Structure 1
Amino acid sequence: MSSDNTSMPCARARHFNIVVIGAGQAGLSAAGTLHRRGLVAGSDFAVLDANQGPGGAWRHRWNALTLGRAHGVHDLPGFALKNPDTWRPASQVVGEYYGAYEQHLGLEVIRPTKVKVVTQPQDDVFYISTDGTDFTANAVINATGTWESPNIPYYHGLEYFTGKQWHTKTFRDVEDFRDQRVLVVGGGASAIQFLMMLEKVTDHTVWVSRSLPRWNPEHFSPDWGRRVEERVTTLVTAGKVPRSVVSNTGLALNEDSLDFINRGALVFRGFIDSFGADQVTLNGPGPDGATINSQGPAVDNLLRARDPRLAQMHRNTEILPGHGTDIPHQWVTPIDSILWATGFQHSLGHLYPLDIRSEYGGVVVGKDGVTVPAAPGVFLVGYGASASTVGATRAGRKAAVAAIQYLG
């Protein structure tokens, strides 16, 4: 295939047959497949990335998240990550790995380039406006992930809270919370990791979420992962908004997490009612904060099997102060900081001018999980079932092949 500049809506835009937006796991997988199918980076296709360097969202992770504590990084096609140092920060290891892959294939990633909007002025041409050079393409593979769209839910009174607020996206070092009273909000793996780390610097953590924690004692095997992907695919092919990762997977219940539960570090304390300037009102066990409530049948059964005395557990931290109230189970605790581990939304705003949203708020994708019937020539990767590193690799390959077939 060769580039054709005759259909450019703007003479200053650079034209490629295929433009890949994003250079994370999914985007690099797509680009690598295009390369192996004989397309030339910088001529037939281009990869745009908003980051300053390789690594995708991984490059922004906190240093304490070592590769050994991360969920894992799936090998990019034909380029294995051999014997990585699991004690090094995942941001460094993955950044170096992705960079080596880009160099190995000569992908010539164009960065930093942030895509602002994608439109379709002609039936067979997409116009890609960025904060720098603009581009046109006959097909677009979108791999922008979620990192740029942090989700922070609103609660009554939050605007009056005067303390520091952090999010998974802005978290850098657990030392920022030393000796502070920290409210950790969220029911996913990030919240669990934060609570484990915070135990080293403070005895004043309170874990809350919008729903009860879903502990899962099931072994996270490849077969289990495929079943999860099938459930997610059913949702996105109907155009529904993908649910959070933890709603599909649950929280890994193992010996490590059981120990933290027993010590009081991973104890779900209830639901947020409202905020004040330096406090939060909760609906949950209390108000003294001493007795640990049930953490769900999966946890309770395993703890009792290990030691019957654990049926009546108690926190090893100080008693949390409460206020008198006529509302049962409502209690107040002072806080200095809020750590929002409330996840992300898919970064698809730049594609909305193409009118791809369904009546349910999501994007309808084809049975292959990557095609967008509402916008022929657009392919989504890292969306829905392909949000994991394993799924992203497979989706990247599918999208590249589908884009080539689309262009004939």
Structure 2
Amino acid sequence: MEQLNVVVIGGGQSGLAAAYALRRRGLTPVVLEASDQAAGSWPHYYDSLTLFSPARYSSLPGLPFGGDGDRYPHRDEVIAYLRRYAAQLDADIRTGHRVAEVRRDDKGFTLALQDGTELAARGVIAATGGFGRPNIPALPGLDSFAGEVLHVADYRSPEPFAGQRVVAVGAGNSAVQVATELASRARVTLASRAPVKWFKQRPLAGRDLHFWLKATGLDIAPLGRFTPNPPTMAVIDDGRYQTALIAGTPDRRPLFTAIEGTEVTWKDGTTEDVDTIVLATGYRPDLGYLAPLGALDEVGHPRHRDGTSLIHPGLGFVGLEWQRSLSSASLRGVGRDADRVTRRLARHLARL
């Protein structure tokens, strides 16, 4: 069995930031990435996705994003940036290596890969983030819906839905963006339990919201431990999405109350046929491989404080939503969390 120092599970933005921090501490990480490239979930996001943070606030440690710092990079730019980052990172990145489970042993951890290979490691960082497992909520009648149901994780572009009656469920950034895009090809309702909340993209003095989050310290405030159930974030808008909802493209309604076949019943008692329901209802941590360690709670969330496991001191997490702060799961914030987690892990390993 190959003996390794620290294994980072996941080669997206979180895993790359963790590997960078480990190298700076003199450790030699091996990064295991299930897909064929070190780009995380980004290649799977919808085609029109752009960051709502400017390029100057969208970098990992050690490599600026580049170009006009005030632009909002497209999904494909982020993928290219992560590839560049991985190429210049002095770390052993192994693609096509999916971890099936992690077990504890006398010297640290044993990692069983899906192909049957086993690896030994003194320390492990789980960096599969919070976007690997789409959340499918229990909505009234959804299980019996006779039309098409898809999560936004499987949505790419509006063209296949031309002429359809579509209901998009959710109230966050992805829900509003996808519903508005779909409304250019279909008749769309944005349905949610609560009204959409808004943040202005440039709230004051012409400065982007992220300038003010940094200037006020809100971006790094350690509020994660007080938010065990991450809230739906307000939609960051330059005005176009709010204008679209006011114009009814899409229209916004309270969540439906029942479904029978393809017929949806709304809160006011009216009914209509619907072709497709798109769920923009978030994600859950993709950490099932840690179940043998007892490191997760009853719903699969990690038991941790600021990214360090409360069960195994040799186990850390990077890239969880609200892991420590508002920015923990973002390009701009994951490096700070990685630095903190790897500092604690290095101290632990030095005592062994």
Deviation at 1:137, TM superposition (A): 0.7
1:57 maps to 2:48: no
Q: Please give the secondary structure, in 2, of the residue aligned with 1:275.
A: strand
2:336 is aligned to 394
Question: What's 1:33 paired with?
Answer: 21
> Which residue does 2:320 correspond to in 1?
383
- Superposed displacement of residue 30, structure 1: 1.1
Structure 1 residue aligned with 2:176 = 192
CA distance in 2: counterparts of 1:87 and 1:388, whole angstroms: 14
Query: Letter of the aligned partner of 1:130 in structure 2?
Result: L
TM-score relative to the length of structure 2: 0.86
SS of the aligned residue for 1:55 comes to coil
Measure, in 1, the Cα distance between the counterparts of 2:224 and 2:266.
36
Is 1:243 aligned with 2:230? yes
1:293 aligned partner:
none
The 1:358/1:208 distance shift into structure 2, 3 A limit, reads same
Task: Please tell me the residue identity of whatever aligns with 2:10.
Answer: G
Is this contact kept in 2: 1:28–1:396, CA < 8 A? Answer: no
Match for residue 3 of structure 2? Answer: 15
- 1:142 Cα deviation from its structure 2 partner: 0.9
For 1:109, what is the secondary structure of its paired residue? strand
Over aligned residue pairs, what C-alpha RMSD do you find?
2.5
Contact 1:61 1:172 in 2 (8 A): yes
Tell me how far 1:269 sits from its aligned partner.
0.8
Amino acid at match of 1:174: P
Aligned mates of 1:363, 1:23 — CA distance in 2: 19
For 1:248-259, what aligned pairs fall within 5 Å after superposition?
A: 249-259=233-243
| Identity, % of aligned positions | 28
Note if contact 1:18-1:403 (Cα within 8 Å) is conserved in structure 2. Answer: no
How far residue 397 of structure 1 moved from its aligned partner, in angstroms, is 1.9
1:327-366 alignment runs, 5 A limit: 329-358=268-297, 362-366=301-305
Q: Are the counterparts in 1 of residues 38 and 95 from structure 2 also a CA contact under 8 Å? A: no
Contact 1:74 1:393 survives alignment (8 Å): no
Match of 1:406 among 333, 348, 351: 348
Q: Between Structure 1 and Structure 2, whose CA radius of gyration is higher?
A: 1
Report SS of the residue matched to 2:257: strand
With over 3 angstroms needed to count, the CA separation of the structure-2 counterparts of 1:343 and 1:120, relative to structure 1, is: same
With structure 1 as the length reference, what TM-score do the two structures score? Answer: 0.75
SS of the residue aligned with 2:132?
coil
Unaligned 5+ runs, structure 1: 1-12, 284-328
Are the structure 2 counterparts of residues 88 and 71 from structure 1 closer, same or farther at C-alpha, using a change threshold of 3 Å?
closer
2:170 is equivalent to residue 179 of structure 1 = no
CA contact (8 A) 2:183 2:250 kept: no
Greater strand content = 2
How far did 1:361 drift? 6.6
Q: Unaligned regions of 5+ residues in structure 2, if any?
A: 204-208, 323-327
Aligned residue pair count = 334
